Structure 1
Amino acid sequence: MRAKKLPLEFSEQVCMDFLALFIEALMPVLEILLVTAVGLVLGMERINLLGAISRQSLNSLVFFVFSPSLIVSDLADTITLDSLGTLWFMLVNVLITFLIGSALAWILVKITRAPQHLQSPIIGCCAAGNLGNLLLIILPAVCEEDDSPFADSSVCSTDAEAYAVLSMAIGAIYIWCYVYPIMRIYANKATNDTGTHGATTRDNISGENSYLHSEIGTEPLLPSEGCPSSEECMDQVEFHFTGSERKAKVMFLEKTMLHLKKLTGHVDLKKLFAPSTIAAIFGFLIGIVSPIRKVLIGDDAPLRAIYNSASLLGEPTIPSMTLIIGANLLRGLQGAGVRPALIVGIIAIRYIIMPSLGIIIVKAANHFGIVGSDALYQFTLMLQYALPPAMNIGTISQLLETGESECSVIMLWTYAVATFSLTIWSTIFMWLVS
């Protein structure tokens, strides 16, 4: 009889432990949901405290003042040369999330045959997760719970802040360095298709090279030169010009270099060196270089007033960004319709496929000794795969003037589902690492 009761008692204990972890994961998500709901209410026309003008002003404050101050102060305080050597895999992990998300988005676009003007926001929403304010809320909140599966609350909170801020800084760099150029390429393709009705050919002359665009206006071609024999042109690719039977032959190496040049041509240095990116650079510099750190940080630091001021300016970042999320989601209720298949596809990518792959990747990295045994660090790496789309995607869509209202609809549904998805995946991740 005792042998039969053991599995039952064991299963009951597992269920109780899982329920406790579920409650731990639910609390920070509820905090986010409540603050987001306040932002949504403030954005309503009857109240209009976060209307279009107010939201734009607050967004500018967050973009130019609050967020950079938070990044530079927290990075300088929490990141050192030793800790950066331990946390280096996070740079790779975030990049992997972006690469997997964009690849899955490309597959979704092909399967659903999404309209040209929607391809840019779809790529962005699948590629970039909200690596900023959500982690800054979730990680410290999990550490502060009484039944937290991680280390002592004070140690856990310090490490959680370091992981969250590093994630935010890396995400800001990748969004403007990787996601923005890709979204710009797809946005230009949609603009060209709309402007030419898919039937015009344009000649662009840059320096000494002449580029001929195909009928969709996105594939630049180079004239084939220096190819005297057919044997030397085995790697050439044939392209058809619009309205002509002629064929232009381009050597494979030239075509590869041309695509690289095209991609780098879409990198906007002004956007790449956004305030958050510059703040991340200075934060790393202050934290890593010990003499600068001693001058700015510490009770006896001569210039501690500068650091304290930056830290004070960074405190409104989290509530401000969360309020903006709520106000922006209100636009999704009033926005244009998006096919259900696209929304379901994006939700499946962000909340089913990517978190599942994240478990495999982080567990494999742990198996090979890349990420160490810190449970909170592994939890953070896994959580980066399960986050909803970054709110910067909406900003980029506005800058590129493509799919703005549709992006709001996508954001509305993905953040609504994230309330349940984040709770479930956070519970599973804590159970796996605890």
Structure 2
Amino acid sequence: MGLLDLFITACVPVLNTLLVTGFGSFLATDFAGILGKEARKHLNYVVFYVFNPCLVSINLAKTITMETMAKLWFMPVNVFFTFIFGLIFGWFVIKVTRAPPKLRGLILGCCSSGNLGNIFLIIIPALCKEKGSPFGAPDVCQTYGLAYSSLSLAIGAIVLWTGAYNIIRANSEVTEGDGKPPTAQTKVSAPGGTPGVVSETNYSILSDHVDDCSLPLISNATTIKTKVPLSERAKRFVSSVSNTVDLKKLFAPSTISVIVGFIIGGIPLLRNAMIGDSAPLRVLSESAELISGGAIPSVTLIMGANLITGLRGDVSVPRAVIAGVVAVRFVLLPLMGTVLVKVAIRLGVIQPDPLYQFILLLQYAVPPAMNIGTITQLFGVGESECSVIFVWVYAVASVAVTMWSAFFMWTLS
């Protein structure tokens, strides 16, 4: 097929996404009043805890076997590359645009963490149904495409809640004024009875002098070393890791569902019992598949409803910042990803499946993850600015994702 035909084929799923996204934005307006803030919150819970886990687990269980597990090892590596290069490019955007401190974590998050799940679950099934699709029979394409997309969603969630989450959390501790953390103050009483204020720094210096005065009294004492048990050291290590990484977010329902899908697909006894027309426990897989049907439309409606805050234009974001994020997500990362994936294909480290290779390439050309907005809401830094950036980036994505999809299909056909 020619590049123009592939471009038209790539347009259809993106247009479908835009229509449903626009309808979600309409439902979130005051005129409709259906997908308000509370409604989106509750629908998000249903998607997060019910729809997405069923979709991920059932599609992986259908397609994943012990043989295919070994062939998909490059996808986590590919997602890691998207995060690292996005982080590097985001750092350059901060330096070039001289972004204020409160936007630095948001910029790094938008540049490093792409929408590696929801947008694939929307685009891939629609792309497989097109007659000009270079990925074979529609039913086979959709089954494997959803499995690859589910795996991408889970890996992307792990990277998001370990990498971007902690980056935004670290930058949220910087004040909006001078970029320095606030200095704690302690009230003390002056010798004359007048209460005064001593900064935390001076107070710590006074404490150090008190400790110095007491040192000569114990300088000749024998130092007693207590041996910490191995179990106690392990407990401290796990506690330190859990404080650094939010394990509750890391083991999200979508991540657990990937583990369940791998277990069912990788163990022949479980797979034969649940998957297939003659499986004795097929009612479980059919029920999960029935529930999973609500994931894609719900996610698309929520995505459109979340953009309504940025459309209202209550907050302004420097144009250079928006342009920098757009350039990273839709120019620099896709070019870098094309080189890396093509080199990996040339070296033979990626399985010869055009659909799998297409998803690896598309992981570099997607807009930022929608959960970046959730993280900014969690820490209360750059929430409104995030909505503004998302409106512009997702508006450009309607054209950029279409063009890159057509280009990737042309290189693989």
Name the TM-score class by shorter chain.
0.7 to 0.9
* Aligned match of 1:266: 244
Deviation at 1:157, TM superposition (A): 2.4
Q: Structure 2 matches for 1:135-150, cutoff 5 A?
A: 135-150=120-135
* Aligned match of 1:413: 392
For residues 91 and 241 of structure 2, the distance between their equivalents in structure 1, rounded to whole angstroms, comes to: 16
TM-aligned CA distance change 1:274 to 1:34, over 3 Å: same
* Aligned match of 1:152: 137
Question: Contact 1:62–1:320 at 8 Å: present in 2 too?
Answer: yes
Q: Which has the larger radius of gyration?
A: 2
Higher mean C-alpha displacement, 267-276 vs 314-323? 267-276
What one-letter code is carried by the residue in structure 2 that aligns with 1:45?
A: D
Deviation at 1:154, TM superposition (A): 3.0
Higher mean C-alpha displacement, 162-171 vs 28-37? 162-171
Q: Structure 2 matches for 1:99-114, cutoff 5 A?
A: 99-114=84-99
* Aligned match of 1:180: 165
Matched, 1:282 2:260: yes
Question: Contact 1:184–1:266 at 8 Å: present in 2 too?
Answer: no
* Aligned match of 2:280: 302
* Aligned match of 2:361: 382
Deviation at 1:396, TM superposition (A): 1.1
What one-letter code is carried by the residue in structure 2 that aligns with 1:200?
A: T
SS of the equivalent of 2:381 reads: coil
Deviation at 1:292, TM superposition (A): 2.0
* Aligned match of 1:403: 382
What one-letter code is carried by the residue in structure 1 that aligns with 2:333?
A: M
Question: Contact 2:59–2:143 at 8 Å: present in 1 too?
Answer: no
Deviation at 1:400, TM superposition (A): 1.5
Q: Choose the corresponding residue for 1:22, options 7, 17, 21.
A: 7
Matched, 1:62 2:41: no
CA-atom RMSD, angstroms? 2.5
Q: For each residue in 1:29-74, what CA deviation from the matched residue of structure 2 results, as whole angstroms up to 9, or x when unmatched?
A: 0010010011011111010110111111111111111111211111
Deviation at 1:110, TM superposition (A): 2.3
Question: Contact 1:185–1:266 at 8 Å: present in 2 too?
Answer: no
What one-letter code is carried by the residue in structure 2 that aligns with 1:307?
A: S
Q: Choose the corresponding residue for 2:295, options 305, 317, 338.
A: 317
The structure showing larger relative contact order (alpha-carbon pairs under 8 Å, at least 6 residues apart) is: 2
For residues 95 and 326 of structure 2, the distance between their equivalents in structure 1, rounded to whole angstroms, comes to: 16
Q: For each residue in 1:67-91, what CA deviation from the matched residue of structure 2 results, as whole angstroms up to 9, or x when unmatched?
A: 1121111111222221121121111
Matched, 1:122 2:75: no
Question: Contact 2:110–2:369 at 8 Å: present in 1 too?
Answer: yes
Structure 1 spans left out of the alignment, 5+ residues: 1-15, 204-212, 215-260
TM (norm. structure 2) is 0.83
Deviation at 1:306, TM superposition (A): 2.2
Q: Structure 2 matches for 1:1-400, cutoff 5 A?
A: 17-188=2-173, 190-191=174-175, 198=181, 200=183, 265-334=243-312, 335-400=314-379
For residues 137 and 196 of structure 1, the distance between their equivalents in structure 2, rounded to whole angstroms, comes to: 40
Structure 2 spans left out of the alignment, 5+ residues: 187-199, 202-238
TM (norm. structure 1) is 0.79
Deviation at 1:201, TM superposition (A): 6.7
For residues 80 and 180 of structure 2, the distance between their equivalents in structure 1, rounded to whole angstroms, comes to: 36
Question: Contact 2:101–2:179 at 8 Å: present in 1 too?
Answer: no
Q: Choose the corresponding residue for 2:402, options 401, 419, 423.
A: 423
Q: For each residue in 1:161-183, what CA deviation from the matched residue of structure 2 results, as whole angstroms up to 9, or x when unmatched?
A: 22111111211222112221222
For residues 129 and 173 of structure 1, the distance between their equivalents in structure 2, rounded to whole angstroms, comes to: 12
Deviation at 1:159, TM superposition (A): 2.1
Question: Contact 1:70–1:310 at 8 Å: present in 2 too?
Answer: yes
SS of the equivalent of 1:389 reads: coil
What one-letter code is carried by the residue in structure 2 that aligns with 1:25?
A: A
TM-aligned CA distance change 1:405 to 1:196, over 3 Å: closer
Identity %: 49
For residues 34 and 429 of structure 1, the distance between their equivalents in structure 2, rounded to whole angstroms, comes to: 24
Q: For each residue in 1:343-387, what CA deviation from the matched residue of structure 2 results, as whole angstroms up to 9, or x when unmatched?
A: 000000000000001110010000100113322221111111000
Deviation at 1:302, TM superposition (A): 2.9
For residues 82 and 47 of structure 1, the distance between their equivalents in structure 2, rounded to whole angstroms, comes to: 50
Deviation at 1:341, TM superposition (A): 0.3
Aligned length: 364
What one-letter code is carried by the residue in structure 2 that aligns with 1:312?
A: L
